[in-house]
Structure 1
């Protein structure tokens, strides 16, 4: 009988183990990414302490970003966009952190759209 074939049992066992492992990894990364701010605090701490481009805070007038706003208010520019635009002048630590997060984002975008397991 084909159900009792040992090779089919091994293949089924392997497939189930792979699916369970994939499921656990997806749930764990979603849980850690959404409920643990330490994952984001540590790279932010490294960026703040080791990147000279972030030490000078540039601001633009609040009314330049939003049409009618209170006079005298300012909004800081997006520091990540500034780091990506000045990639060549960033420190190696900053390049590694930005490279990791940008690669994670791009891989997640490509794999999730193709119905592949990605978190």
Structure 2
């Protein structure tokens, strides 16, 4: 084994502590995200009470279309896609929630594919 001078010991200690902190954060966020639905209930609660576009979906989930339209158009649209298509008319709370989840998804996709630590 090589001898470590004081500067190498500090760098090694820093690297080990950073790795341990990263692992602890990854495990905690995976545990909380997969086992606790409260993390997802609260944004859903805020979206249902703050967003008028979602209230209209609850009352009338789809619009009956003319008889000559395709069968795919008669299916109800995804609520999230409806919110994203009407981004400018959404409330500030809805924009913040959607922005957070989209940013989290995109960063996770980019960092995980590059073998960087991400939960």
What is the TM-score with the length of structure 2 in the denominator?
A: 0.84
Post-superposition offset of 1:77: 2.5
Post-superposition offset of 1:59: 2.5
Distance in 2, matches of 1:60 and 1:24, equals 48
Alignment RMSD (CA, Å): 2.0
Instruction: Specify the alignment match of 1:46 in structure 2.
Output: 46
Larger RCO (CA within 8 A; separation ≥ 6):
2
Q: Bigger CA drift: 42-51 or 4-13?
A: 4-13
Q: Deviations over 1:26-56 (max 9, x none)?
A: 0011001000000000000000000000001
1:16 aligns with 2:19: no
Runs of 4+ in 1 over 4 A off after TM superposition: none
Distance in 1, matches of 2:114 and 2:12, equals 24
Q: Work out whether residues 60 and 75 of structure 1, in 8 Å CA contact, stay in contact via their aligned partners in 2.
A: no
SS of residue in 2 equivalent to 1:9:
helix
Where structure 2 has 5 or more consecutive residues not aligned to the other structure, the ranges are 65-70
Structure with greater strand share of residues: 1
What is the TM-score with the length of structure 1 in the denominator?
A: 0.84
Instruction: Specify the alignment match of 1:87 in structure 2.
Output: 87
Where structure 1 has 5 or more consecutive residues not aligned to the other structure, the ranges are 66-73
